Amino acid sequence: MAVSKIMKNCEKYDVGYFPPPVKSNDWINKDHITKAPAWCSVDLRDGNQALIVPMSLDEKIDFFKFLVSLGFKEIEVGFPAASETEYTFLRTLVEDNMVPDDVTIQVLTQSREHIIKKTFESLIGVKNAVVHLYNSTSVAQREQVFKMEKEEIIDIAVSGATLIEEYAKNFPDTNFTFEYSPESFTGTEMEFALEICNRVIDVWKPRPERKVIINLPATVAMSMPHVYASQIEYMSKNLHDRENVILSLHPHNDRGTAVADCELGLLAGGDRIEGTLFGNGERTGNADIITVAMNMYSHGVDPGLDFTDMPAIVAIYEKFTDLEVHPRQPYGGQLVFAAFSGSHQDAIAKGMRHRKSSDSKKWNVPYLPIDPHDVGREYDADVIRINSQSGKGGVAYVLEQNYGFFIPKEMREELGYMIKEISDKQHKELSPEEIYEYFDGEYINRFDEIDITDAEFKRPPHSEKMGDSGMTVDMNVLFAGKHYALSGKGNGRLDSVTNALRQGPYELLYDFVTYSEHALESESDSRAASYVAIKDRHGFTFWGVGIHNDIIYASVNALVSAINRAFIKNHPKGQK
């Protein structure tokens, strides 16, 4: 078989990651995540530094408040020693008392004394703080950037950890947590990553009242998610003082697997996630905390974050970042609950009806992994969307949810094809308002050629013994604008109207097929909707819909609408 040379440059790539030296696959035996991790938002550092136009001071403050409102208890506010803007931002939060007592501020620092000193100066007055130390440990960084041996890299980390320990002693009123990241962890030999982390742990000597965070970032995602999980499990099993270590994950999305890295990493021993809303961040971004959290929610786990108003979250995010949330973005995208496919729409509509009639409290609607209402979305506007790909069930569902019409099953196919054809010709999606407009114009109270302006129904004495038989009607009818007084008798109101109309000037040859009715609203004075189908002499079926406050006149209007539709079809251009 010939080998393709279209992408022959793949030959210059090789795996750059390092699997654990021993099998670390216990995480495979776990089916799902059973509790939420600690969440740390890094939107104001890793997310903000990825913006074309970084946020202003006021925008940073407003975004911080927004993150607090979502329930984040750990928020990284940036690299205060790196720029005056970030330093001023942190000082403003502290001096204006904007940090709630239960929220921990996280700051990032390199292992350099003047940077560490400046970082601690920025923390004066902070009640709870994470000081996050990092240095690069990967083979590529050691050989190409720093040109250092492993022991020299370890010295950088240990000296930084020692300095942080010393500076923290000058802040007795601040509750500090120390965090260390072997940056580019995924490109580091696992034995070396373990060694450098343990050396830092030994400096900080974690204890129950002051645990240490070891953060293992996929600074550049290099492997499939199961490899990252095995790396996390290996580290988790071999870190010193593990019971007093919070194992944190910080996956990036270079391979599009950041969410999977988080989920499998949590199964493998992770306790904490660092990420951003909608995965904002350098290059392809970070792990999307919203997706990770909502995935847990869909399995019955409370994530501890408030995403109940997703449309508002999307709007605020887009406002501050000038980025757009993709319409197919999980949970937050405008179209994630939308079904255009006819078969999908039909299944969703039936599932929703089943749910209403079922006693089950568990959510199990086809094609909808969660209830859209749980994230502030609406069924009518977000779930069933109508275009040329839609089916009969979708159109009927839209009319039911928005306007209260229960379209008869036999009528749905005809109505669905009509709406699909309109959408196809216009090359666009149709809104519920447009669907109703076309439905109304085609089917409801059609009095184009024939119009019953008044009708009086009578029953002979003792007719109740004969059911609905023996009905008579006297009515005034307009045929093409001319008045006629007609009478008829039949075994019911629609039969009597039919027989009366046949006394008029037009030859009306049709058979009655079916009839149904229901109230449009729940109030006592609600309107009634009626549906009538007739079959003309050629065997074609015509539907009509009638609306009236009186159910009798609603049914008459439906019959007249069906007759008018048949008459117009069979007598084009006014031919009688």
In a shared domain, residues 421 and 510: no
pLDDT at position 49: 84
In a shared domain, residues 140 and 215: yes
pLDDT at position 293: 98
3-state secondary structure 438-464: HHHHHHECCCCCEEEEEEEEECCCCHH
Q: Is residue 25 part of a domain?
A: no
- pTM of the predicted model as reported, rounded to 2 decimal places: 0.79
In a shared domain, residues 181 and 69: yes
Cα dihedral 348, 353, 358, 362 sign: positive
Distance CA(131)–CA(107), nearest Å, equals: 5
In a shared domain, residues 437 and 455: no
Q: Is residue 334 part of a domain?
A: no
Residues of the chain with pLDDT under 50: 467-468, 574-576
Q: Is residue 181 part of a domain?
A: yes
pLDDT at position 388: 58
Q: Is residue 139 part of a domain?
A: yes
Residue finishing a domain among 397, 414, 441 = 441
Q: Is residue 15 part of a domain?
A: no
In a shared domain, residues 399 and 285: no
In a shared domain, residues 128 and 159: yes
CATH at 107: 3.20.20.70
Distance CA(482)–CA(175), nearest Å, equals: 91
In a shared domain, residues 434 and 499: no
Domain count, the chain: 3
Longest CA–CA span in the chain (Å) reads 110
Q: CB under 8 Å, gap of 24 or more: what pairs does 298-305 form?
A: 298/369, 298/370, 299/32, 299/33, 301/33, 301/34, 301/35, 301/36, 302/36, 303/36, 303/39, 304/36, 304/39, 304/71, 305/39, 305/70, 305/71, 305/72
Distance CA(151)–CA(148), nearest Å, equals: 8
In a shared domain, residues 392 and 253: no
Surface-to-core class of residue 84, CB atoms within 10 Å of its CB (0-12 exposed, 13-18 middle, 19+ buried): exposed
Distance CA(466)–CA(282), nearest Å, equals: 81
CA angle 344, 350, 355 (to 5 degrees): 120
In a shared domain, residues 526 and 508: yes
pLDDT at position 344: 77
In a shared domain, residues 437 and 476: no
Type of residue numbered 526:
S
Q: Is residue 26 part of a domain?
A: no
Residue finishing a domain among 411, 441, 471 = 441
Residue 542 is part of which domain span?
450-574
Q: Is residue 337 part of a domain?
A: no
Residue finishing a domain among 321, 351, 384 = 321
CATH at 519: 3.30.160.270
In a shared domain, residues 74 and 99: yes
Q: Is residue 391 part of a domain?
A: yes
In a shared domain, residues 76 and 136: yes
Decide: helix, strand or coil at residue 58.
helix
